[in-house]
Amino acid sequence: MTLIDNAIYVGGQRVATPRNLDETYTLQEAHTGFAWIGLYRPTAGELASVAAEFDLHPLAIEDAAVGHQRSKVERYGDTLFVVLRPARYDDAREQLDIGELHLFAGPDFLITIRHAESPDLASVRRRLEQQPELLSLGSEAVLYAVLDRIVDEYEPVVAGIENDIDEIEDDLFGNSDDDALSRRIYELSGEIIQFSRATHPLVGIIEWLQRGHDAYHVDIELQRRLRDVQDHAIRVAERIDGFRTTLDKALAVHSALVARRQTEVNLQQNEQVKKISSWAAIIFAPTLIGTVYGMNFDVMPELHWEYGYPVALSVMVAFPTVLYLIFKRRHWL
């Protein structure tokens, strides 16, 4: 069922809960009230119905039907079309989920179209129904409450990302797998970029709404509340910028540590190669001499010489000794 909640309000009080859109239109006209229609992934027929009833612009309806829109605010006559990107952090998967919410705010109606599970608009409705003096201000009050809820839901996301960054910083100087750590930093960087695209435009949206307060005679208390939401949104945006800087530094440090460890491994391998080569050269010298004079030829130099045997032994001892001293002096051994 795409019609999640549907109510007619008069003076901030719920006076009717219509069962379908047609009944909503009839009761709104009868009570001369404010209609708040909550839709979840509506059908094309439902979008066409509300568009015809409230004279919604075709371009805005097209955006609402297609989805995958960037955060933005547009005005079509007396109607505002707002696209917001709520966020939710899944602790179990350590993953960020970005949703999408469309709002049509008119003089006597507000339509919310959700394309994801968040934000929790039921809690927003309950909160406003407990504050009839605020709800009586109409669509501007509901828009403020939705913005406030979305910014509040950003806080757990910020906390989750901050926890992930703390774990990454701990793993940097630990014994973690380099490939796994690099992948985690890269994936978290991508999530932060997505989160930044959802949160940063929100500051501009609120500023845009504030510029129209005087022209549309928005209640002064509602203006103050919206400024408070803007302050929270700015803080969230600043923290996200800080996360991006921290991750960039973490990636640089990780790359440096990996390069250093690789260099150390190469140096150790070079030392081993030097030692092996040195001992091979030392062993090769006497082996060569012994091999040559073990060929059993009848005619060989110094074969019948009286001092041939001791000289050969002396050379076999002296040559590797000299090589050993040379390699030792060069710290190859």
Do 236 and 286 belong to one domain? no
> pTM for this one?
0.76
Q: What type of residue sits at position 112? A: T
Q: Select from 228, 259, 290 the last residue of a domain.
A: 259
CATH code for the domain of 13: 3.30.460.20
Report how far residue 4's alpha carbon sits from residue 18's, in angstroms, rounded to the nearest whole number: 11
Distance CA 211, CA 221 (A): 15
Closest to 62 (Cα-Cα) out of 38, 44, 80: 44
Q: Does 44 share its domain with 157? A: yes
Task: State the pLDDT confidence band at 299, using cuts at 50, 70 and 90.
Answer: low
Same domain, 116 and 242: yes
Q: Identify the CA nearest to 102 among candidates 80, 120, 124.
A: 80
Residue with tokens 């990454």: 168
> How is 202-224 classified by DSSP, letter by letter?
HHHHHHHHHHTTTTTT--HHHHH
Picking from 259, 274, 307, the residue at the C-terminal end of a domain is 259
pLDDT value at 24 more than 90 = yes
> Rounded to a whole number, what is the distance in angstroms from the first to the last CA of the chain?
80
Q: Check residue 301 and give its pLDDT.
A: 66
Q: What is the CATH number of the domain that holds 282?
A: 1.20.58.340
97 and 53 share one domain: yes
Q: What are the beta bridge partners of residue 34?
A: 9
By residue range, what is the domain housing residue 60? 3-259
Q: Please give the tally of structural domains in the chain.
A: 2
Tell me: do 271 and 193 sit in the same domain: no
**Model confidence pLDDT, tens digit, residues 147-203:** 999 999 999 999 999 998 888 888 887 766 777 888 888 888 889 999 999 999 999
